[in-house]
Amino acid sequence: MEKKATKLVDLLVEDVRFPTSLELDGSDATHPDPDYSAVYVTLVTDSEDFKGYGITFTLGRGNEIVLHCVDSLRFLVINKDIKEIQANMGSWVRSLAHESQLRWIGPEKGPLHLAVAGIVNSFWDLWGKMESKPVWKLLVDMTPEQLVSLVDFRYMEDCITKDEAIEMLQKEVPMKSKREVHIRMSGFPAYTTQVGWLGYSDEKIRTLSKMFLDRGFTAFKMKVGSDLEDDKRRLR
């Protein structure tokens, strides 16, 4: 029988890198030679049955800086009560992003922003596991008030307030079950980025496009911006 998790007891961080620049995977006009990398975050609880896993993404160099930022936020994570975070997750996230000293190298941008994302992603994973739900279902089952509490409205209140957002969502509640059934039956349209990286040869683009067409994809993302005429040629 699974032991219930009640608090966070440790935060583990790993530096994971892949040499994608060797094949120019992920290349675009601004980032011609990325090495796709991630800071891999594990939230450990007081139950051996529940851990949360999450990543925050970088392009290689500098991944270690984000790792150190995650580690610097440890004191805002360890020994936190899980139910208290769940009851007001938006407030907890803001405490991470706006810690009074670390915010000097942030907030909401740069390595601190990425570090917070890794921790938050791992907590969503943990929460979903504790509820035996994928994260999308966890969000679907939230009330309008719970959903809105996750959002920082400081940059939006001149366009929409919390109360207005709650009202908008409440109007759609009667249709929620029907929409969930539709999504479960039909899925959600997706595109792939894997065919059109800027450094790929024409032959590789054609080969990958055919492969993903055969898999059922009908939409593809092509990277552009290096040379206008070559961009037009590639899109033909």
Helices 89-97 and 110-131, axial angle in degrees (round to 10): 160
Q: What are 101-145's pLDDT values in tens digits?
A: 998 887 778 999 999 999 999 999 999 999 999 999 999 999 999
The reply to whether 199 and 149 lie within a common domain is no
C-alpha 170 chain-centroid distance: 26
In one letter, which amino acid is 108? E
Residue 16, pLDDT > 80, answer yes
Structural domain boundaries enclosing 31:
8-133
Burial of 69 (0-12, 13-18, 19+ CB in 10 A): buried
Task: Provide, rounded to the nearest whole percent, the portion of the chain with pLDDT above 90.
Answer: 85
How far is the CA of 172 from the CAs of 56, 163, 177, 192, in angstroms? Answer: 32, 15, 10, 30
Q: Mean pLDDT for the chain?
A: 93
The residue behind tokens 């405490």 is 95
- pLDDT value at position 73? 96
The reply to whether 97 and 115 lie within a common domain is yes
Residue 189, pLDDT > 90, answer no
The reply to whether 83 and 172 lie within a common domain is no
Residue 186, pLDDT > 90, answer no
Domains in the chain, number = 3
Report, as an integer, the average pLDDT of 92-100: 93
- pLDDT value at position 2? 76
Q: What are 28-59's pLDDT values in tens digits?
A: 999 999 999 999 999 999 999 999 999 999 99
Report, as an integer, the average pLDDT of 89-94: 93
Task: Provide, rounded to the nearest whole percent, the portion of the chain with pLDDT above 70.
Answer: 100
The reply to whether 221 and 113 lie within a common domain is no
Output the CA torsion sign for 36, 116, 72, 10: negative
- pLDDT value at position 87? 93
The reply to whether 66 and 166 lie within a common domain is no
C-alpha 224 chain-centroid distance: 24
The reply to whether 13 and 128 lie within a common domain is yes
- pLDDT value at position 235? 83
Rounded to a whole number of angstroms, the CA Rg of the chain reads 21
Residue 152, pLDDT > 90, answer no
Residue by residue, DSSP assigns the chain as -PPPP-BEEEEEEEEEE--GGGTTTT--SS-SS---EEEEEEEEESSTT-EEEEEEEE-STTHHHHHHHHHHTGGGTTT-BHHHHHHTHHHHHHHHHT-TTGGGG-SSSHHHHHHHHHHHHHHHHHHHHHHTS-HHHHHHTS-HHHHHHTS--TTTTTT--HHHHHHHHHHHHHHHHHHHHHHHHH-----EEEEE-TT--HHHHHHHHHHHHHTT---EEE---S-HHHHHHHH-
Residue 155, pLDDT > 90, answer no
Domain boundary among 116, 133, 150: 133
- pLDDT value at position 45? 97
> What is the C-alpha end-to-end distance of the chain, expressed in Å?
58
- pLDDT value at position 191? 92
The reply to whether 20 and 117 lie within a common domain is yes
- pLDDT value at position 1? 72
